[in-house]
Amino acid sequence: MQKIPLVDVQAQYAPLRAQLEARFSEVLESGAFIRGPHYWAFQEEAAAYLGVKETVGVANGTDALVLVLDALGIGPGDEVICPAFTFYATAESIVRRGATPVFADVDPDTLNLDPEDVAARITPRTRAIMPVHLFGRPAPVDRLTGFGLPVIEDAAQAFGAPGVAKLGTVATYSFYPTKNLFCLGDGGLVATSDVELADRVRMLAFHGSRDKTDFDFVGYNSRLDEVQAAMLRLFLPQLDAWNRGRREAAARYAELGLGELVELPRDEPGHIYHLFVCRSPERDRIRAALAEAGIASAVYYTTPLHLQPALRFLGYEPGSLPVTEAAATDNFSLPLWPGIPAETQERVVDVVRSAVGVGAKA
């Protein structure tokens, strides 16, 4: 029985292997491993791709969030509104700055921040709103900017999604190896058209300095290293095709009748399907059948952030975010990557169909 992974990153970079090896050899020969030519070039190319004035390459996506919060002067006594249905780093970055995450519920159709619930949670201490473009679906930033607060787009799962990074104050990205745009290790990016904000982030990421001689701030040591920048420069031109491949794979699941068996993620033109997350009250049965068939699946945020042990001091109780908590109980993701074979998807759907007791599609 051939096993099916949740995502096959190697299948994406296999056609580029010779170029990747040549690029690595080039960096090795240069001896420039920190803030070398690829580091600077990638930032320019990423800014052009995203349609922003500035990007800053940093060590990872979590650092990107912390650096932005610091650059905006957000700290103790301040509140930042964010979702609880997201990865821990979103709230962790806020707490790391000494500020307070205020969790708003999500829209049941998109699982992104619900602007109406956000509005109800704004107080005089609210300093920013941090939406997450969850699973590759753009959040309603256009509505969130209407509250007159800085909007920090957590775009870790959405590099290449249309409109992302263009409406908010600043956007942050992760290049973790399973992301839509990935590197071969850790990496992150801050993107903004606020030149002064970008300059402050760049200094904070470099020990609060421009030249490592004079230090204007108490900063961090957070840099996208040269090897990863070199790899990202090869991957960035492939991204649009990869994202099209993800959308094609998502459409194929619908064509195969998966929507008759489980609730599919609602499609919309900007959705680039970082993950293909479905919902079903029979999640556990489906996942058990998939596992028995050698097919990987995953669940996300089964303990939402407002109920995490480390954040209990915030005082949230079960039932306080009902849409978030419902999503935590029934979501699961199925295998999807650019170029996933059609027969692989057919096998996945057949197993799901058997698990829920629905006959074969005619």
Residue 43's CB: how many other CB atoms inside 10 A?
Answer: 22
The range of the structural domain enclosing residue 311 comes to 239-356
Q: Residue 87: how many CA atoms within 13 Å on its side-chain side? A: 14
Q: Do 246 and 326 sit in the same domain of this protein?
A: yes
Mean pLDDT of 7-25: 96
Mean pLDDT of 322-344: 98
CA distance linking residue 93 with residue 66, whole number of Å: 5
State yes or no: pLDDT of 362 exceeds 50: no
**Position 257 in a domain:** yes
Q: Do 86 and 65 sit in the same domain of this protein?
A: yes
Q: How many domains does the chain have?
A: 2
CA distance linking residue 35 with residue 40, whole number of Å: 7
- pLDDT of 187: 98
Q: What is the CATH number of the domain that holds 312?
A: 3.90.1150.10
Asked which of 187, 212, 237 is the last residue of a domain, the reply is: 237
Q: Do 233 and 276 sit in the same domain of this protein?
A: no
Return the amino acid letter for 318: P
Give tens-digit pLDDT for 196-241.
999 999 999 999 999 999 999 999 999 999 999 999 999 999 999 9
Q: Which residues contact 232 (CB under 8 A, 6 or more apart)?
A: 42, 46, 175, 181, 183, 187, 224
**Position 3 in a domain:** no
Q: Do 161 and 310 sit in the same domain of this protein?
A: no
Give tens-digit pLDDT for 253-292.
999 999 999 999 999 999 999 999 999 999 999 999 999 9
Q: What is the CATH number of the domain that holds 31?
A: 3.40.640.10
**Position 2 in a domain:** no
State yes or no: pLDDT of 1 exceeds 90: no
Asked which of 182, 209, 237 is the last residue of a domain, the reply is: 237
Q: Do 203 and 328 sit in the same domain of this protein?
A: no
Asked which of 237, 253, 272 is the last residue of a domain, the reply is: 237
State yes or no: pLDDT of 361 exceeds 70: no
CA distance linking residue 73 with residue 66, whole number of Å: 11
- pLDDT of 67: 98
**Position 362 in a domain:** no
Closest CA to 276 of 331, 355, 217, 199: 331
Mean of the per-residue pLDDT values of the chain: 97
**Position 264 in a domain:** yes
Give tens-digit pLDDT for 147-197.
999 999 999 999 999 999 999 999 999 999 999 999 999 999 999 999 999
Q: Do 325 and 177 sit in the same domain of this protein?
A: no
Residue 57 phi/psi, 5° resolution?
A: -80, 130
Q: Do 228 and 281 sit in the same domain of this protein?
A: no
Residue 323's CB: how many other CB atoms inside 10 A?
Answer: 16
- pLDDT of 357: 85
- pLDDT of 359: 58
Provide the token pair at 272.
Answer: 């680039």
Rounded to two decimals, the pTM is: 0.96
Q: Do 164 and 262 sit in the same domain of this protein?
A: no
**Position 361 in a domain:** no
**Position 267 in a domain:** yes
State yes or no: pLDDT of 360 exceeds 70: no
- pLDDT of 73: 98
**Three-state SS for 256?**
coil
State yes or no: pLDDT of 329 exceeds 70: yes
Q: Do 275 and 145 sit in the same domain of this protein?
A: no
Q: Do 13 and 161 sit in the same domain of this protein?
A: yes
Mean pLDDT of 60-88: 98
Q: Do 163 and 216 sit in the same domain of this protein?
A: yes
Q: What is the b/e burial string over 308-319, where b = at least 16 CB atoms within 10 angstroms of the residue's CB?
A: beebeebebeee
**Position 324 in a domain:** yes
Which pLDDT band, with edges at 50, 70 and 90, does 72 fall under? Answer: very high
Q: Do 39 and 119 sit in the same domain of this protein?
A: yes
Give tens-digit pLDDT for 85-139.
999 999 999 999 999 999 999 999 999 999 999 999 999 999 999 999 999 999 9
